[in-house]
Each structure stands twice: as C-alpha cells, then as structure tokens.
Amino acid sequence: MPELTPSLPASAVPAPSRPGEALRWALFRALERLSDLRGNNTLGAFSLAPADARGPALWFYVTTIGELNAVAPMIEWLTAQRPDLRPVLITEHAHYREAYLARLPQAVVCISRGHSSDARRLARMLPPAMLALAEIPCLPSEAPCRFSYAFLREARRCGAATLMLNGWLYHYDPPARLDQLERRLLERDFLGAFDVLCVQDAETARALEARGAPRDRLQVTGNMKFDAMRRADWRVEQATRSPRLLGDLLATDRPVIVGGCVTELAEQHQVLGAFERLRRTHPRALLILAPRHPENLERMTALLAQLGEAGLVVARRSQLADGALAPQVQCLVLDTVGELRDFYAAASVAHVGVDHNVLEPLGLNKPLTIRGGWDTTYPSYPVYRLLRDRGVLHECDDEATMCDYWLAAIDHAPRIAEDLRRTEEALASMRGSVARHQAACAAWIRR
C-alpha cells in the first residue's frame, strides 16, 4: 500500500501552533468553565491506577480493549523503543482497567472524560515525552468516545512527539453542545497538533487534509488490525486469566461454538436456535456466549432470561474459578472483559456479532459465521468490507444455514478447509501495516 507522502526525516522538528490558537483555546476554556457551572459531566472523573505513579511518560489514548488489541504491536514497539518512559493508557471506561493492566502490567491507567483540568493534572504527574492516539477519534468528538484537544495541547506544551495510529473516520456528529463548539473552534488545531498522522486508507487521508491536516504529515499505512490479530502461534500459557479452563476445553472432544459480541436480542435468538439444532446431532456441544458490555445489567438480565427460556444449563465465567468446566454446563456466558480473544482459541467454530471484530477468530484460523447488515460507521466495518469483497466471510441470516455451517466445521468438511485457505490468503495480502507505522513514526521516537 503506497504512502501518501514520504516519511518524515529524522531531523524533523514540531510545527508551530496555528495563528490565533491561544485565543481560540482561551475562548473554549471560558465555555468549558461555564459548562462546569451548569454541571459538566466530564468534570470529576479523573483517576489513576496506581494512584502514586509519577515520572516521564508515554501517553496512549485507547478508549476500549478493542483499540488496545488493535494497536498492541505498536504499543509494544513504542514502549520497547522508550523503556525510560512509563506507559499511560487513557480511557473514559473504568471497567476496562483490569483488562488493560492484564495486557500491559507496567502501565498506568488514567480514567478521564476529557476535561482540560484532567489533562493538566496528568501532565503534572506523568509528563509525556510522547503521545499516541490509538485509531479513534481522528477529529474532536468524532466517535462514541472523547479524546479532547486539551490532552494534545498539554502534550505539545511538554514537548512530546504526537502520533496518530491506524486513523479512521466515524463520521459522527459531536453529541453535546460543548463538543460541537470544540470541533468548530479547534478542529484544525487538533489536526495540526500531530507530528504524524497514520491513517488506514487514502480516502481518510484526503478527508483529513480537506479539514486541515498538513499534507506532509499524513501517511497511508493500512489497517494494523490485520497484523495485530494474527495469532497462529497462540499457546494456552498466554491466556492471562483462564489458562486452566481453556486448557481443559482444548483437551476435550466437545464441539465448542464461541459467539463473540453477540448483543442484540434478535441475533442472540438466532444463535440459540442454531445451537438447539446443532445439539440434535452433537448433544455434548458447548456454547460460549460473550455479550458486548457485560457491565450493562439490563442487557445481561435479558440474555440470562433468554438462556433460561431455551432450557440450557448455564454458567457465568465471573462466578467460576479457573478450572475445568462442569460437563453438564451447556452454555458458558463470558461476562468478563478482555478474555474473548483467548476463548476463540477453544472454538470448533466461531460466530461474531454484527459490527464487531472478525479478525480475532480468523487470526486463530477458526471457521467463522456472521450475519449481514453491518453499520458503515463502526470501526469494524473497513475490515468487514475488505473481507466481504474478497468473498471470504460466510454470512448466515437464519438458524438453518448457520447450523449447517457449524456442522461442516465440526465435521471437518473439505469446504471448510478451502474456506480457511482462501481466508488466510486474503489476510496475508493485507498485512504489513505495523512495519509501515514503524517507518512513519521512527523519526519521532527520540526527538
């Protein structure tokens, strides 16, 4: 995949702020203070784990475990290049803290909803020498998460190198009035504050350039997920939380269906219907069902009620020790955060819910089913579109066809082997983004 522009030279220096930036920032801060008086919900969310962390840092904005997994090779590479810097993972979701620290134990997790006071406080405690924005958002409040210009501005004030990784556009409108004002006032300053902007495709690069990104800092580097999700050498010892449970599943001859991020009730109903059909032939089959956002009590209650109506013997991962699963359990609900990608390794066949990450099971060479009807604004869509266009995704929109494909996978039908061969061929042709990211960012590692 060609670059839009040549890589930056090692002697590159940060560009100055755009004329009038200080005035625009002062105006935005006045508006933010006014919002504080009216009950700004971004205020008061700041926390650090561990709370006493101090020293020079490498800031990463990674709003969810999905973004962390997507850019993990670059996070690992950057932290290896700068072992003198403490990695700081910034997110607005406190429930990801445990999963983040399981993946990167030496990191500090910063919880913030993007208030400018949080950025100043973090810079005092852990001043950044580098900041990397992991995939989203490419514009202020352009995604269902909030990385504010304040963090970029503080990073620049500290002299940090600033990197955008795996950039892609959601095309969302800002959800709140203050977010709308931030984009209107500071969008060009936001884009101009990055030393290098690595984006997934030329379309994204053109869109960002039209909105004010400096052309000479844009790099088309492809989608890092094709590299990050490749796990052909996965071993059970790598599982951070359930090695004994996974080892037992891998050693058993039970057919295992792993349904990842199956959240909508209609899709859950289809998966359960297909599993009921499957059990007529394979009565010992196990369904591992991972709902999106298990912390959402309303959704979990609805799912458990649905499983009860299906008459399945259910266990919840959060209530089990790490050990062999009781043989009478027919459905394991994976109501934990950060474990799904390891549980795909135990799958005889996987199903990924609409709008979620198909590369996690495909990276483990697992047969896969999906439903159609994906949303073009989701970050999973570019991967879905590329693989759909290559004809390697198996869409099943009813219980019967889904069950038929699962049976073929369990019985090792020749067509499944051919599907996996064609899928790996397609995936291999799309890899290489990590190396392109490294080349684009190398000049800024030790500025």
* Angstrom distance (rounded) from CA 362 to CA 227: 12
Task: Decide if 77 contacts 121 (C-beta within 8 A).
Answer: no
The C-alpha R_g of the chain, in whole angstroms, comes to 23
**Which member of 3, 21, 32, 67 is catalytic?**
67
Task: Decide if 347 contacts 257 (C-beta within 8 A).
Answer: yes
Length of the chain in terms of residues written = 447
Task: Decide if 378 contacts 438 (C-beta within 8 A).
Answer: no
* Angstrom distance (rounded) from CA 434 to CA 167: 13
Place of tokens 């038929």: 404
Sign of the Cα torsion 249, 285, 295, 374 reads: positive
Task: Decide if 360 contacts 385 (C-beta within 8 A).
Answer: no
Cis peptide upstream of residue 137 (ω within 30 degrees of 0): yes
CA distances from 325 to 244, 282, 317, 395 (A): 9, 18, 10, 31
Across 359-416, where does the E strand assignment appear? Answer: 368-369
* Angstrom distance (rounded) from CA 86 to CA 267: 42
Task: Decide if 348 contacts 410 (C-beta within 8 A).
Answer: yes
What's the start-to-end Cα distance of the chain, in Å?
Answer: 27
Catalytic: 264? no
Task: Decide if 333 contacts 312 (C-beta within 8 A).
Answer: no
Q: Is 373 left (phi over 0), alpha (psi -120 to 50) or beta?
A: left
Taking each helix axis from N to C terminus, what angle separates 21-37 and 149-157, rounded to the nearest 10 degrees?
130
* Angstrom distance (rounded) from CA 218 to CA 443: 14
- In 3D, which of 339, 321, 367, 341 has the Cα closest to residue 234? 341
Which residues fall within 8 angstroms of residue 341, CB to CB, at 6 or more apart? 69, 231, 360
Residue 287, helix vs strand vs coil: strand
**Catalytic residues, which ones?**
67
